[in-house]
A = this chain, B = another copy of it.
Amino acid sequence: MKKVLVLGAGRSSQYLIDYLLDISQADQYEVMLTDREKELAAYRVQHHSNGRAIVLDVSNEKERDALIQESDLVISMLPINFHLEVAKACLKYRKNMVTASYVSPEINQLNEEVKRTGLIFLKECGLDPGIDHMSAMSVIDKIRNLGGNLRSFETFTGGLLVPSPDENPWQYKFTWNPRNVVLAGQGGVKFLQEGAFKYIPYHKIFRRTEMVHIPGHGYFEGYANRDSLKYLKLYNLEGIKTMYRGTFRRPGFCRAWDIFVQIGATDDSYMMDNVKEMTHKQFINSFLSYNPYDSVELKLAHYLNLDFDSLEMYKLRWLHLFDEEPVGLEEGTPAQILEHILKKRWTLDANDRDLIVMWHKFEYFEEQQLKVINSYLTAEGENNLKTAMARTVGLPVGIAARLILKGKIGLKGVHIPTKKEIYEPILHELKTLGVEIQEELPRLIKMPGKNL
């Protein structure tokens, strides 16, 4: 009986574990799930006959390595800072590895050695990164096989909420790492549009959005992600005219979020003073000019030229930002304090259902005609534990692990799922599990203008 070692039983691992256990009888393997908390690992495994819950502090090298040595394949669902060490141990004990995290330059440097050892380290195999690579490359390869010539690729992904009559005017809660949401966009943005390099500084990103309609799901607004240009190489798209990657939010979100950016509330570079005694209102006021007579609310509205009865101001009031409610932190940067305040109202309730939306737009020439294909993926969660995020991150990881164990993937080295040999069987299996990419038929379109 083969053994799959899963490191980390955090929130995103439930669907992965369920998938692995479901097929463990047919495929004949055991699932070893480790976590710092024994109860959590045991809860995920639920006394399944092929499951084993193990308590492990990953920084305990000896225990970790013993488990790696015992296993046939390692899946790491750990925070990204642990991945390099786990990768090195996998190399040492000659074990294949699958993760949903980004390839770091350090892990990339292991490529030759991983290849030489006859292993595969498959990274970025979750949702974003993961299904985005796979669903994009499946259309890009198809266009190429038809003799088409891609000229433009735009792609957006968002972790959102299923619409509800809930009073939350943001129509948003944290469904993924809150810190990353608060810091999103910092460092500015770089992309390629109609052959021209375009740059947006951080403080303008949330006012340079695009509106996208997805059939059956309505409108979404997208803001640009950091560096779209690196995907030219990853997807082998050099020479393309437009390359744009972004993140989806509900329409109106970005304008309200931009208030935090404009006042400096997302800054993570310095510790604020007097945090211990700070209230929500004082937090906001520390970014506004001094005036002994005016209210914080009016000073903010005037500073950013917001109508007092605007939806943006209402969104801030709904977060209790103008209340004398204690922040409740001992210390922190503006970004840490903002995250703490947002968590008070942006944490999923038992009945909240999250929504994943991914959208690609491909423009290409085929026989001198310009055509467009849109493809998209949507996935809805069941509740605050069985989220669409956990499902769309966990399932591709589990499927990839299964394929590697069965010897169905022959590639060696450090990979992301951009090769047909990898993405085709994963997308196929995802479809049988209800995670299906919708692909519209190609349409003829007019050529855009030629100026910049």
- On whether the beta carbons of B264 and A201 are closer than 8 Å, the reply is yes
- On whether the beta carbons of B448 and A203 are closer than 8 Å, the reply is no
Stretch at the interface among A84-92, A162-170, A281-289: A281-289
Mask: chain A, 269-298; 1 = CB below 8 Å from B; 0 = not: 110111000000010011111101100000
A263 to chain B, nearest CB (A): 7
Q: In the assembly, what is the distance between CA of A287 and CA of B282, in Å? A: 35
Give chain A's interface residue range (CB within 8 Å of chain B): 35 or more
Interface residues of A in 168-219 (CB under 8 A from B): 187-188, 190, 193-194, 196-204, 208
Q: In the assembly, what is the distance between CA of A201 and CA of B265, in Å? A: 9
A201: which of B196, B267, B450 is its contact (CB, 8 Å)?
A: B267
Mask: chain A, 296-335; 1 = CB below 8 Å from B; 0 = not: 0000000000000000000000000000000000000010
Mask: chain A, 427-452; 1 = CB below 8 Å from B; 0 = not: 00000000000000000000011111
Copies in the complex: 2
A262: which of B193, B203, B269, B290 is its contact (CB, 8 Å)?
A: B203
Contact of A290 with B198 at beta-carbon distance under 8 Å, contacts A267-B188, A270-B188 already known = yes
Kindly list chain B residues whose C-beta atoms are within 8 Å of the C-beta of A193.
290
Q: In the assembly, what is the distance between CA of A290 and CA of B194, in Å? A: 8
Contact of A292 with B194 at beta-carbon distance under 8 Å, contacts A201-B264, A203-B201 already known = yes
Looking at chain A's contact residues, is the secondary structure mostly helix, strand, loop, or mixed? loop
Mask: chain A, 124-144; 1 = CB below 8 Å from B; 0 = not: 000000000000000000000
A162 to chain B, nearest CB (A): 32
- On whether the beta carbons of B448 and A292 are closer than 8 Å, the reply is yes
- On whether the beta carbons of B269 and A187 are closer than 8 Å, the reply is yes
Most B CB within 10 A of own CB, among A270, A290, A334, A450: A290
Kindly list chain B residues whose C-beta atoms are within 8 Å of the C-beta of A196.
285-286, 290
A293: which of B197, B262, B292, B449 is its contact (CB, 8 Å)?
A: B449
- On whether the beta carbons of B286 and A197 are closer than 8 Å, the reply is yes
Q: In the assembly, what is the distance between CA of A344 and CA of B9, in Å? A: 61
Kindly list chain B residues whose C-beta atoms are within 8 Å of the C-beta of A293.
449, 451
Residue of B nearest to A189 (CB): B264
Residue of B nearest to A210 (CB): B289
Contact of A264 with B204 at beta-carbon distance under 8 Å, contacts A197-B273, A290-B193, A292-B452 already known = yes
Residue of B nearest to A190 (CB): B270
- Show the binding face of A for B, using Cβ within 8 Å: 187-188, 190, 193-194, 196-204, 208, 262-264, 267, 269-270, 272-274, 282, 285-290, 292-293, 334, 448-452
